[in-house]
Amino acid sequence: MDVDGPAPDHPGPGGLIAEGKRARTVPIILDGALAALRAAHTVDGPSYGRISAPDSVAWMAFLTDRLASYAATLTRLGQAAIAAHRARVRTDLALLADVRPHLLHGDPHPGNFRLRAGRVVLLDWELATYGDPQLDLVRFAWEWRIPPRRWRQVVGIDPDEPAIVLYRHIHLLGRVMSAISRGSVELAGRYLANLPAELAPQPARPGATHGV
């Protein structure tokens, strides 16, 4: 990860730049990145959905609409089996408890964090929504390649909890949609190829290289 990238000309929504605790060296940037993400989660939202139009009255309703959109796109691309998985995920939405809407970054992969003046700064709010912070934490754990056996210790979430498993599936489906919407054909193809195996129960995430 490039920790010497330029500071953003335009910070997050409403001028927000979420900053974590001081990161003196690269090995502890993960801690600073997680603190920055949690700082964003302290911002309350008026309702659920995209920050530009938070018009869903319930978190489950917002996710249901998103999953319906995913299924339509996957079916159009000839991915009927994966689209059918969306139906099972939708059934599992009943597992989710009611939550207050909080600011979610939506794409907390390592490339969206920078060191600026000794602090970890969270950039690129294009996919930001209001919803359950646990979904963002699942995204963070997955994209930072933290082995699931370490999720509880590092991120504070239990990978075996039904709601967390559900959020993992939503994230995996969502990143396919993001790649498609950006026109990243090669990336979308790779995600689609990996999706069946990644949606299966996983005792540990292979290839973890971040030393956590």
28 versus 139: which is more confidently predicted?
A: 139
Domain locations along the chain: 1-53+102-131, 59-97+132-212
Specify the amino acid at residue 90.
Answer: R
pLDDT digits over 73-106, tens only? 878 877 776 767 666 676 778 778 778 999 999 9
Res 164: pLDDT: 94
Contacts of 195 (CB under 8 A, 6+ apart): 82, 172, 173, 176
Per-residue pLDDT, 137: 98
- The answer to whether the CB of 187 falls within 8 A of the CB of 121 is no
**Cα(70)–Cα(41) distance, integer angstroms:** 25
- Radius of gyration over alpha carbons of the chain, in Å? 17
Element housing 162 (H / E): helix 162-181
pLDDT of residue 85: 67
The whole-number average pLDDT for the span 52-60 is 91
Note the pLDDT of residue 193: 84
User: What is the tens place of the pLDDT at every residue in 17-46?
Assistant: 455 544 344 445 888 999 999 999 999 999
Q: Please say whether the beta carbons of 168 and 142 come within 8 A.
A: yes
205 has pLDDT over 60? no
Q: Is the pTM of this model over 0.95?
A: no
Using one digit for the tens of pLDDT, what is the confidence trace for 145-201? 999 999 999 999 999 999 999 999 999 988 888 888 888 878 888 888 888 788 776
